[in-house]
Chain A
Amino acid sequence: MSLLKEDQQKKLEEKFKELDGNVKLVVFTQEMECRYCEETRQLMEDLAGLSDKIDVEVYDFVSDTDKVEKYKIDKIPATVIEGEKDYGIRFYGIPAGYEFVSLTNTIMAVSKGESGLSEETKAALKKLKDPVHLQVFITLTCPYCPTAVEMAHKLSEESDLVTSDMVESAEFPHLVQRYSVSSVPKVIINEDIQFEGAMPEKEFVENVMKVLES
């Protein structure tokens, strides 16, 4: 059964007419052991069914080792949103609830191939010299979380040095423990810098640029 209701499918079909380039949803799953693997795969297949420009590929986390290495996947369910290239955009856990908003908006942005970030942000990102890894912890009931996830993914789309993960907290309790996540959205930058709360682009980028100081 589809997770999307009929009227939601219609609305999305309409929205996806604005897609430019093709988008590939690469899903890593493992039917037997992963709590929301099946639903995640189902959701991505449903989305692919709503537009010719969206394709879905499904791989097994255990047996498809070449793909796991290629996309550097370390936990499941995982979904890569790939456009013209792999920008480093990952959703770990199911992007349902409020996070469906960031999933669809990220698909739209990747299809466009243009992050839509301000000129100031683009200039700041050019100063990066080393890789930056952003992990955005969320819950599916958090209305402010999609803003933070979308912002992180936009930075990935803009800069080859930035990779970004959405991490659904309830599915990865060991990571919640490890990074002491007790309020969301929480953003972890390269393991050592962290901040909470959704913020406007300018402040978000200022936080990310702190990597230059550390």
Chain B
Amino acid sequence: MGADLLDLEIIMPDDVQEKVSQNGEPYELLIIGGGPAGMTAAVYSARKQLKTLLISKDLGGQLLWTSDIENYMGYQYITGRELTDKFKSQMEQFPIVDIIVGDSVEKLAREGNLFVAATAGGRKYMGKAVIIATGKRYKPLGAPGEEKFVGRGISYCATCDAPLFAGKDVVVIGGGNSGFTAAADLVEIANKVYVVNSSSTWQADPVLVDKVKSSEKFVPLLSHVITEIKGDNAVTGVDAQSLETKEIKQLPVQGVFIEIGLLPNSELAMGLVRLNNWGEIMVDCGCNTSMPGAFGAGDVTTVPEKQISVAIGEGSKAALSAYKYLLMHG
């Protein structure tokens, strides 16, 4: 019974109030995105006393669906939620930062000397400089049946949806860290957990792999790809083909967790700044983009290694670069 797995931990309400610059003046700095990079940039810009606005659909970003963190210095172990709360309180102690949560920027453009951010909620905000720290989102698999069964057995957020699959058979697609993090959650809840990976080895950290391997529920399928997701009203199974023998196995599952990596949330800046072939915002080591006054930080950029600690460093650099830019041009 799934109810035994209910998380009765109490998470405190977001104390951040919606605040908007009252006088209609442009902000000195817009920060788009509220993950580790964006929140760090806000702290650094506040300490330089820049009038700052941070806009994000949530505070925490990918941290919100990270369960255990063991490689963020200063904490031997901390959960994604706890670390998010600590970042939030650190940012909120600076009243110079206005924060809008629950809306997201759809289009960023340059008009004259200003950057204009238009949101999904129909609002417009202006800034003299901007930091894009919009992170990444889940990448779809592209297999037949995927679009049809979104919300009908296919999930891209294991943390959110795992409790819905108590006692059921599920497949995790992807053998990297996100795949094995999902599998670790699912072996606690589901009946059987297949993990399918296209390469012949796992890419996940050995610590994570060992944790999942120790469960009797774990069924590994290396060198396999998913050729179809099947069902009627909801998912009833997937076809997994061996890359070696070409044989197709039918896996009878009710849940499909797609964990094959991430896509950068860079659409808002298309045409404004240069992107690489994967859609990442190209930045130099000072977080400068191809457009003066626009800076990039964290997972949405070309910075190697998508790690919380790396995003923190990038967020601080981007804010300091923006500060220098504003001294020259502001």
Judging by beta carbons under 8 Å apart, are A97 and B7 in contact?
Answer: yes
- Interface size of B by Cβ–Cβ distance < 8 Å? 47
CB contacts under 8 Å to A, within B1-53, are: 1-3, 5-15
Judging by beta carbons under 8 Å apart, are B164 and A96 in contact?
Answer: no
B159 within 8 A of A: yes
Known: A143-B58, A170-B3, A180-B234. A8 touches B159 (CB 8 A): no
Report chain B residues within 8 Å CB of A201: 121
A94 within 8 A of B: yes
Q: Which of B2, B65, B154 neighbours the largest number of chain A CB atoms within 10 Å of its CB?
A: B2
In the bound complex, how far is the Cα of B151 from the Cα of A127, in angstroms? 30
A210 within 8 A of B: no
B122 within 8 A of A: yes
A213 within 8 A of B: no
Size class of A's contact patch?
A: 35 or more
In the bound complex, how far is the Cα of B156 from the Cα of A142, in angstroms? 12
Judging by beta carbons under 8 Å apart, are A182 and B234 in contact?
Answer: yes
Report chain A residues within 8 Å CB of B60: 143
Known: A143-B64, A182-B164. A94 touches B153 (CB 8 A): no
B162 within 8 A of A: yes
Q: Which residue of B lies closest to A139 (CB)?
A: B163
A30: min CB distance to chain B, Å = 15
B161 within 8 A of A: yes
User: In the complex, which of the residues A11, A139, A143, A200 contacts B161, with contact meaning CB atoms closer than 8 Å?
Assistant: A139
Report chain B residues within 8 Å CB of A211: none
Cβ contacts B196-234/A at 8 Å (1 or 0 each): 000000000000000000000000000000000000011
Number of A-B contacts (CB under 8 A): 128
User: In the complex, which of the residues A96, A104, A180, A184 contacts B9, with contact meaning CB atoms closer than 8 Å?
Assistant: A96
A147 within 8 A of B: yes
Judging by beta carbons under 8 Å apart, are A182 and B153 in contact?
Answer: yes
CB contacts under 8 Å to B, within A1-27, are: 3-5, 8, 11-12, 15
A53: min CB distance to chain B, Å = 17
4 smallest A-B Cβ distances: which pairs? A142-B160, A170-B2, A143-B64, A196-B151
- List 15 additional contacts besides A5-B10, A97-B10, A142-B160; criterion CB under 8 Å: A36-B3, A96-B6, A101-B13, A104-B13, A139-B164, A141-B7, A141-B159, A141-B163, A144-B58, A170-B164, A182-B161, A183-B156, A183-B164, A184-B161, A200-B104
29 A-B contacts (beta carbon < 8 Å):
A5-B10, A15-B13, A35-B1, A39-B8, A96-B10, A100-B11, A100-B12, A101-B11, A101-B12, A139-B163, A140-B8, A141-B7, A141-B162, A142-B160, A143-B64, A143-B65, A144-B58, A144-B160, A145-B160, A173-B2, A173-B166, A181-B164, A182-B154, A183-B150, A183-B155, A186-B151, A196-B151, A202-B120, A202-B122
